[in-house]
Amino acid sequence: MRLRLCSTALFVLLAQQASACAGLGKDHDSDIASVLNYVSRRSASTPDSTLIENVRIFDGQVMMAPSTVLIRDGRIADIDAGHGATASVVVNGTGKFLIPGLIDSHVHVDIPQALDAMASYGVTTCVNMACYDYELCETLKDIPGTTSMFTASLPAVGNGSFHARLRGSSSDLTVSASTNATAWVATNAFPPGSPASFLKVTAEPDGPEQGLLNDLVAAAHTLGRPATMHASYVSAYEQAAIARPEIIQHLPADAVMNHSLARRLLRQKQHVTATMAIFRIGANSAWLKTMLRQNFQWNVTMSNARILVETGVPLLAGTDSTNVGPLNVTFPYGLTLQCELEYLVEAGMSPTQALRAATEDPSRVHNMYDRGIIYAGKRADLVLLNSNPLLHIANTRDISQVWVGGIPVQNVTRDLTSDCAALDMVSNAYLS
């Protein structure tokens, strides 16, 4: 199913430039062909087996005593393999630390280069938070040797709302007071062959009314699908508390929420993907403030994150990284997730909690049961570090090696110098 949304809206908002497709390429067939061509030129190869010797393993709570991990056929075949274990590739893990591959729970991906950038920083799984071309999303999902991708549906956005105008969404692909939520979700979010794992709904001041938000979430639940809700205003958070999607995306950017709202989210067992990275970039970028029409203030972002952490609302690590190809700018995929972990610690999480927010917790919440922990039988999505991240969370950037489904990532980024306080948009050359 193809859902092509092209508009001059992005350029009208930013620079009055010529029209183009925001986020996607100009032509569906060329998008698919470009991905397939890129994949055909890859040289990823899977060793028959890999043995990581004498390495300390993160078990979700602590770094265990040195052990040996055997990888075979893209899976973790054994942990604490005996001294007689053999493999085609042997890695000396002495003095090093093995963590599950990191999961970015909120990105926007339309090109495989973004996946490679994430993999180089140890992000082995990502959650694409909107899909406008289901065939393209399916093509990007499981490219061997790079970050694997789960995806949301076409977002349910209000007709004439800011997000609808931003993408130039046609009225038949948006929702309004007359929308039959059950039919819309079945037809647009989960048609036959849809790669979407869950419904995305956008709550915003000019977006769908409360009743429609409730009905959309309920329609997804009736189909056995979870729902997530974009909410970057306190009022939208209040709507999400009533509609009760499993996950809320973002933090309020307009004001500090009250503790009673946070306590309600906790009681209802709702999760939040904070995406502080986009708020950090927004605070540093007049460009992004103009595009999203929000006055990003880092102190507001951090205050809301701290309220959620103090209250005990479970947070997932996500960044909202996106590529705006027509304007030759992109978020620094991969680095943004590394910085997100630092922001979570700044908000009051321990390094252990922050690491779980990017590994075990999202694997459970997003039903990714084959990853997120280091355990026999799980996918061999692994990151070997030179330094202990439980002592200092920034040590997740001190990368020695990365494996995605047992395949070693060829170009690993060991970035110990980037300043997360200065995180900003970068040129598309970052993805080359």
- How do the domains of the chain map onto residue ranges? 49-99+372-409, 105-365
Angle (nearest 5°) at CA 422 between 416 and 427: 85
CATH of domain 105-365: 3.20.20.140
Mean pLDDT of 24-43: 77
- Give the residue among 143, 48, 144, 55 at the shortest CA–CA distance from 93: 55
* Closest to 203 in 3D by CA, of 257, 247, 240, 151: 240
Give the pLDDT mean for 86-112. 96
Measured CA to CA, the distance from residue 283 to residue 213 in angstroms comes to: 29
pLDDT tens digits, one per residue of 373-416: 999 999 999 999 999 999 999 999 999 999 999 999 999 999 99
Rounded to whole angstroms, the Cα distance separating 45 from 408 reads: 8
Residue 278 to residue 283: CA distance in whole angstroms: 8
Residue 26 has pLDDT above 50, yes or no: no
pLDDT above 60: residue 14: no
Measure the CA–CA gap between 142 and 21, rounded to whole angstroms.
24
Model confidence, pTM: 0.93
Helices (H) and strands (E) in the chain, counts: 15, 19
Q: How much is the pLDDT for 18?
A: 28
Q: Which residue has the higher pLDDT, 52 or 25?
A: 52
pLDDT by residue (tens digit) across 316-358? 999 999 998 878 889 999 999 999 999 999 999 999 999 999 9
For residues 247 and 45, the model is more confident at: 247
Instruction: Render pLDDT for 239-249 as a digit per residue (tens, 0 to 9).
Output: 999 999 999 99
Across 127-141, average pLDDT: 96
Nearest-angstrom CA–CA distance, 89 and 109: 32
Helices (H), 230-389: 234-243, 259-267, 276-284, 286-292, 298-311, 335-346, 351-356, 360-365
Q: Is the pLDDT of residue 3 over 80?
A: no
Q: If you average pLDDT over residues 251-271, what whole number do you get?
A: 97
Residue 7 in this model has a pLDDT that exceeds 70: no
- Inform me whether the pLDDT recorded for 23 exceeds 70: no
List, edge to edge, every strand of the sheet that includes 329-330.
323-324, 329-330, 426-427
Q: What is the mean pLDDT of residues 34-47?
A: 82
Helix (H) or strand (E) holding 316: strand 315-316
30: left (phi over 0), alpha (psi -120 to 50) or beta: alpha
Quote the DSSP letter at residue 64. Answer: P
Predicted pLDDT at 291 = 73
Task: Please give the average per-residue pLDDT across 186-211, as a whole number.
Answer: 97
Question: What's the mean per-residue pLDDT of the chain?
Answer: 91
Strand ranges for 41-198 from DSSP E: 49-57, 67-72, 75-79, 89-92, 97-100, 102-107, 123-128, 148-151
Please, what CATH class does the domain formed by 49-99+372-409 belong to? mainly beta
| pLDDT number for residue 10 | 39
The answer to whether 402 touches 383, Cβ cutoff 8 Å, is yes
pLDDT of res. 168: 84
**DSSP output for 211-240:** HHHHHHHHHHHHTT--EEEE--SHHHHHHH
